[in-house]
Amino acid sequence: MRVLLAALCACGAALCAAPRPNIIVILTDDMGYSDLGCYGGEIATPHLDALAAGGLRFTQFYNTARCCPTRAALLTGLYSHQAGIGHMVDDWSVKVGEAYAGDLSRKAVTIAEVLKGGGYSTYMAGKWHVARKAKAESEADKDNWPLARGFDRFYGTIHGAGSFYDPNTLVRDRSPVSPYADPEYRPKEYYYTDALSDHAVRFVTEHRETKPERPFFLYLAYTAAHWPLHAKEADVAKYRGRYDAGYGAVSAARLEKMRKLGLLDPRWKPAPLRDEWAAVGDKAWEARCMEVYAAMVDAMDQGVGRLVAALKANGQFENTLILYLQDNGGCAEAMGRNGPFKPRAEKPSLPPLAADYLQPDMIPKQTRDGFPVRQGGGVMPGPADTYVGYGRGWAGVSNTPFREYKHWSHEGGISTPLIAHWPAGVGQGVRGGLDYHPAHLIDIMATCVELSGADYPREFAGQKILPMEGVSLTPVLAGRILDRPAPVFWEHEGNRAVRIGDWKLVSKHPGGWELYDIQSDRTETADLAAAQPERVREMAALWDAWAARVGVRPWPLAGGKSGQGGKTKKAAKK
């Protein structure tokens, strides 16, 4: 921390006498690189845009292309295989080694565990999704839930997806709770995104009232905008008609805005969209899907605004580092989009559910008031009795200007915005600017450790701990060069990549290696593998050595069946 303070003071930042910062990490779900307004999108995200204007935007920040591995890497500062989440939270994967145990490893420590040891209070609201046991039959089944991994308070879901009106595996601290029989939280209308925002506000406010002498760490992990497409009609109304022109028109507008923002190098040829609007049969339904998706992002941004307002009211804002990022690229999965159209019933046809009923299903069979939950082509999304995704066409728009989607290691799958805002710590010379250093989720732990002054342990709870893999991003906040001595690697479902400087070697399972010069061709349109075989061999050898070190196994894993997009049939339900 002393090194950081000296660097920032040299840049003129008034931080020399400042206490250790509060740290907030905000993670959103299944969103593309260009969805935010400050990254080129048309969706209204004024609060995140304001953080970007007063902070720093990273243009080349990377996730792992999927929800569970991203959370594991973010929380631990390790590659996801080292943290035990080489794939997802699959029971069968434990058969192929501890890298695929599907449970957050005890050879890893979380940011919360490290910062708590350094005197921080630790809070979490949102999606956990790094524990194999999402439904506890005993207290022992909760041994990898948030309070067992360093958090003082928790409100959210253990599982990875579910209804925004009736989420499954909803937990307060260590106790499962129904959103409709919770004595601590009874809003007029329950909507999960709002509930997470409300609890984030509650946690930072209660901290100010009870522990003002201590810094805090807050991990706010929204499920927006992961399927199902659920949004309040008032938010959807803002976007009515906005997407009637279709994929190409919306993507073209984003490209133009990205050029003006300095996010799109004129040398890059944007990846073509794989879906054509002219081929869409039910355009009203397809446009509605994107309207609801936009409304989900909008509601999330509103929640960020409420959190920022609370920080300001509490006097916490100036010395709080806020980091915003996304867990993977836009999702091309066809969740709920196939099959016959099912019209909404005029009145409930099923018995209503009791207020204290604990929703057991990712896809509920019915709403609380007795309407069957519907899927299928033409089912207009938004209400609680629908459960569909926005599909590949709009995912391509979300990922503008990049190739591929969630699951894959091409830029569309692994590229995320990263906004860093910290009034007391981000140098005046970089505020409102762009940073072009390649960076990765594994760097968040190192950044938190340096800023907090906490000690990263060699042993924890009697277990030897793996060393951090990332580097601290704090020099960038002061406008300095980021020194990264090692390459950055990816593997998920056989999709592989390694990046060294401006060069990226990438493979889409089960295909061979492709080579790209990211500086001149980040959209990965000109494969140079055939022209530079020696570079391919050298980079592939580095990837092979990394894969052996962290425990990567060939895909499909023994005991699993490969499906569309590399998913196993069982994992597709996650």
Each residue's pLDDT tens digit, 352-377:
999 999 999 999 999 999 999 999 99
Nearest to 232 by CA among 156, 151, 142, 297: 297
pLDDT digits (tens, 9 = 90+) for 94-103: 788 999 999 9
Say how many domains are in the chain.
Answer: 1
Question: Does residue 517 form part of some domain?
Answer: no
pLDDT for residue 486 is more than 70: yes
pLDDT value of residue 558: 80
**β-strands 216-221, 121-127 pairing:** parallel
Domain limits at 134? 21-488
Question: Does residue 5 form part of some domain?
Answer: no
Q: CA–CA separation, 338 vs 334, rounded Å?
A: 7
Integer CA distances (angstroms), 225 to 21, 73, 78, 230, 332, in order: 29, 20, 26, 9, 13
Active centre residues (catalytic): 67, 129
pLDDT value of residue 13: 40
Question: Does residue 77 form part of some domain?
Answer: yes
Q: CA–CA separation, 494 vs 566, rounded Å?
A: 8
Question: Does residue 16 form part of some domain?
Answer: no
Q: Which residue has the tokens 């925004």?
A: 164
Q: Give the whole-number percent of the chain exceeding pLDDT 70.
A: 94
Q: CA–CA separation, 308 vs 315, rounded Å?
A: 11
Per the rule left: phi > 0, alpha: psi between -120 and 50, beta: everything else, 48 is alpha
pLDDT digits (tens, 9 = 90+) for 58-99: 999 999 999 999 999 999 999 999 999 999 998 777 788 999
pTM: 0.95
Q: CA–CA separation, 461 vs 473, rounded Å?
A: 28
Length of the chain (residues)? 574
Question: Does residue 295 form part of some domain?
Answer: yes
pLDDT value of residue 234: 98
CATH number at residue 48: 3.40.720.10
Residues 6+ apart with CB under 8 A from 255: 40, 264, 270, 400, 401
Q: Which residue has the tokens 């779900």?
A: 29
Question: Does residue 446 form part of some domain?
Answer: yes
Question: Does residue 549 form part of some domain?
Answer: no
Question: Does residue 211 form part of some domain?
Answer: yes
pLDDT digits (tens, 9 = 90+) for 436-481: 999 999 999 999 999 999 999 999 999 999 999 999 999 999 999 9
Residues 6+ apart with CB under 8 A from 413: 65, 328, 329, 399, 404, 405, 406, 407, 495
